[in-house]
Amino acid sequence: MFVDKDRAFLVIVDMQERLLPAIYNGDEVVENVKSLVALARTYQLPLVLTEQYPKGLGKTVEKLVEELGDLYKPIEKVTFSCMGEPSFKSRVFDLRKEGRDQALVTGVEAHVCVYQTVVHLLMEGWEVHLAADAVGSRRQENHLRALDLVGSMGAMVKPAETLIFEMLERAGTSQFKAMMPYIK
């Protein structure tokens, strides 16, 4: 399945100051999430962002906050699955009522909060597209295992760039030109 600009929304899980320095390839994860934020802005996709216990883990990393701009509206949580946070769950169910049934998921950690969120979204009937290089864990083996697990459960695991090109569909458009700086 391809992502569809009229059905998709972006989920950013816990990309926080005190988590990212320990994430394997953390800088690459941040850059790939930024590219998907640019995609969301280009197509006016809804975006849902969480922060796990920000008092202890800090807020979303500054590079991402800058890219988000006015889209930076974090939902605070203490549950590992975003779906365990009532305001997140309410938001995504409202999006589904608007025809938004494709969740593009990014964030950390792949084998904890991202994994549990993806499983719960799948259980609730969403089509989940996990951006493999826009999620991360402290240990590479945990990251890879989480990708395998959610893929075996029905999530579509793809590079961020694949998601971008699926939505763009063709070159030469204003959207393609807007995304060029993020395609390397």
What would the pLDDT profile of 92-140 be if each residue is shown by its tens digit? 999 999 999 999 999 999 999 999 999 999 999 999 999 999 999 999 9
pLDDT at 184 over 90: no
Q: Find the mean pLDDT for residues 146-155.
A: 98
Cα dihedral value 51, 125, 7, 135, nearest 10: 40
The predicted structure's pLDDT at residue 110: 98
The predicted structure's pLDDT at residue 179: 97
Quick check: 23 and 133 in contact, CB under 8 A? Answer: no
- Binned at pLDDT 50, 70 and 90, residue 151 comes out as very high
Quick check: 130 and 159 in contact, CB under 8 A? Answer: no
What percent of the chain has a predicted confidence (pLDDT) above 70? 99
Q: What is the pLDDT of residues 11-55, one digit of tens each?
A: 999 999 999 999 999 999 999 999 999 999 999 999 999 999 999
Strand positions, DSSP E, the chain: 8-13, 47-52, 75-77, 102-108, 127-136, 156-158
- Nearest-angstrom CA–CA distance, 22 and 126: 30
Contacts of 92 (CB under 8 A, 6+ apart): 9, 11, 48, 83, 103, 121, 126
Q: 0.95 exceeded by the pTM?
A: yes
The predicted structure's pLDDT at residue 156: 99
Cα dihedral value 149, 15, 9, 35, nearest 10: -100
- Nearest-angstrom CA–CA distance, 183 and 177: 10
The predicted structure's pLDDT at residue 112: 98
8-182: which CATH architecture? Answer: 3-Layer(aba) Sandwich (3.40)
Quick check: 34 and 67 in contact, CB under 8 A? Answer: yes
Q: Look at residue 101 and give its three-state secondary structure.
A: coil
Contacts of 53 (CB under 8 A, 6+ apart): 76, 77, 78
- Domain boundary assignment for the chain: 8-182
Cα dihedral value 72, 76, 80, 83, nearest 10: -80
Q: How far is CA 112 from the centre of its chain?
A: 14
